[in-house]
Amino acid sequence: MKTGYKVCDAMTEKVIYVRPDENLETCAKIMKDNNVSSLVVKEDDKVKGIMTEKDIVKKTVAEGINPLNKQSKDIMETNLTAISPDKDIFEALILMRDIQVRHLPVMAENKLVGILTLNDILKIEPQLFDILAEKIELREEERKPLRNIKEKEGICQTCGEYSEELTNEDNVLMCEKCKKEK
């Protein structure tokens, strides 16, 4: 499914950077002051990683580690998946959903040109939320009313097109057309 919007249309071009040796207290203040939830870790114009508020909480505070004694390099994610600025935001959302991230570096010719967040996409195309919701696990799902709702409409997981009638074939929701082609 194409939205007509490219990653470059939605991405944030003014990326907030920190050095690998920046302490986490300073990183948190930079996030707060810039109203962002992630920072790119960069050294000598080379992207080394990305760190998020969630990283600070999960990798230090929740582990009983004093974040004041840690640096960005201690908690940053170094296994980065990037996307090209000319890709459709639908492709970006599918990638974010599949690798379960909320922030994607945007790279062109091996240079960071921006960052794309889930919020960036949903502000432009809020109806794409349904695609993301497929991967969200609900706590105590069995007691919630959503459990009993049959999936009849949504995005075909084979062709990516919207359909009012989806069929579950081998745990893949697909439209009638894709089901016939199977």
In a domain, 32, yes or no: yes
Q: 122 vs 57, which has greater pLDDT?
A: 57
Are 121 and 159 within one domain? no
Domain extent, residue 98, equals 7-128
- Would residue 118 count as lying in a domain? yes
Residue 133 lies in a domain: no
Q: Quick one: 60 and 89 in the same domain?
A: yes
| Residues 177 and 118 occupy one common structural domain | no
Summarize pLDDT for 135-169 with one digit per residue, the tens: 555 454 555 444 334 456 777 888 888 887 888 77
Residue 175 pLDDT exceeds 90: no
CA dist 131 and 148 (Å) reads 19
- Kindly report the backbone phi and psi dihedral angles of residue 8, in degrees, each rounded to the nearest multiple of 5, phi listed first: -65, -20
pLDDT in tens, 105-136: 999 998 999 999 988 888 877 666 665 555 55
Flag whether 85 is in a domain: yes
Work out the pLDDT band at 46, boundaries 50, 70, 90: very high
State the DSSP H helix or E strand holding residue 162, giving kind and residue range, or none if neither.
strand 162-163
Neighbours of 86 (CB within 10 A): 10
Angle at 136 between CA 178 and CA 33, to 5 degrees: 125
pLDDT digits (tens, 9 = 90+) for 17-34: 999 999 999 999 999 999
102 with 145, same domain? no
Q: What percent of the chain has pLDDT over 70?
A: 85
1 vs 109, which has greater pLDDT?
109
Mean pLDDT value across the chain: 84
Statement to judge: residues 121 and 175 lie in one domain: no
Integer Rg of the chain from CA: 19
**What total number of domains does the chain contain?**
2
Continuous H helices in 14-173: 24-34, 53-59, 72-75, 89-99, 118-124, 129-133
